[in-house]
Amino acid sequence: MLCRARVGINGDICSACERMLPRIQSPCPRCAAQDATHDAPGMSCGACQKNPPAFVATHAAFRYAAPVDKLIQDLKYNRRLELSRVLGIYLTDYLKQQEHILPDMIIPVPLHPTRLRERGYNQALEIARFVGAHFRLPVSATDVQRIRATLPQTELSREQRRKNMHGAFRARRAFTGLRIAIVDDVMTSGHTADALARCLTENGAAEVRVWVLARA
Ligand SMILES: [Zn+2]
Ligand SMILES: [Zn+2]
């Protein structure tokens, strides 16, 4: 898929390319920021200590860098839906090495209905389907709604981003006592995951963690 070398019938990415995929070194256990735990293993990064997010942990299979960034963009913007299987398997494999206690359910980060209509699918849900099937966990795409069409985060300052996401989600049920994993394709500032996690805990969730394919 990346170098056009011949691979087996079930292969997508050859072993040489696989070794080059961008993994995160010393991730912050809370937000998966790179190089957070060089000096203090197990400690959260400075940003998480200063402003603790509403989620307790983040597992990111990759850094948002070549060639993973291109694969995610192709899935999102070029309608290459078959990539959700490849990427979903990578996320599952990573989680199998990391997670020892599974949550009760998976909630993919919802798109605003307008965005969903434009794109035709939610890439986070497509990835979550594979993860959910593997771990035999329910995946809910309807229990939380995105109620505000937020501005693209890339055009905003740090403080604007936080405000932009506030109140962006609305729960359609209670999550009393449930442990929930949020699934998304990319985590950048973490404000989207934070806003969703806040919405879930305000509606009773006992614990929210984040499973993402790539951390920017
Ligand atoms: Zn290759
Ligand atoms: Zn952190």
Does some domain include residue 3? no
What's the gap in Å between 159 CA and the centre of ligand 1?
A: 41
| Residue 107, domain CATH | 3.40.50
What's the gap in Å between 49 CA and the centre of ligand 2?
A: 7
pTM value is 0.91
Does some domain include residue 10? no
What's the gap in Å between 204 CA and the centre of ligand 1?
A: 45
Ligand number, closest to the Cα atom of 190: 2
Residue 151 confidence (pLDDT):
64
Does some domain include residue 38? yes
Lookup: tokens for 181: 């994993």
At residue 213, does pLDDT exceed 80? yes
Does some domain include residue 61? yes
At residue 38, does pLDDT exceed 80? no
Give the distance between the most distant pair of CA atoms in the chain: 50
Ligand number, closest to the Cα atom of 48: 2
Q: Quick: pLDDT tens for 128-176.
A: 999 999 999 999 999 999 997 666 666 667 677 766 677 899 999 999 9
Q: How many domains does the chain have?
A: 1
d(CA 48, CA 33) in angstroms, rounded, equals: 10
Ligand number, closest to the Cα atom of 67: 1
What's the gap in Å between 7 CA and the centre of ligand 1?
A: 8
Beta bridge partners of 105: 180
Ligand number, closest to the Cα atom of 187: 2
Does some domain include residue 75? yes
Does some domain include residue 135? yes
Output DSSP code: residue 148: S
Residue 11 confidence (pLDDT):
73
Does some domain include residue 185? yes
Residues spanned by the domain of 112: 15-215
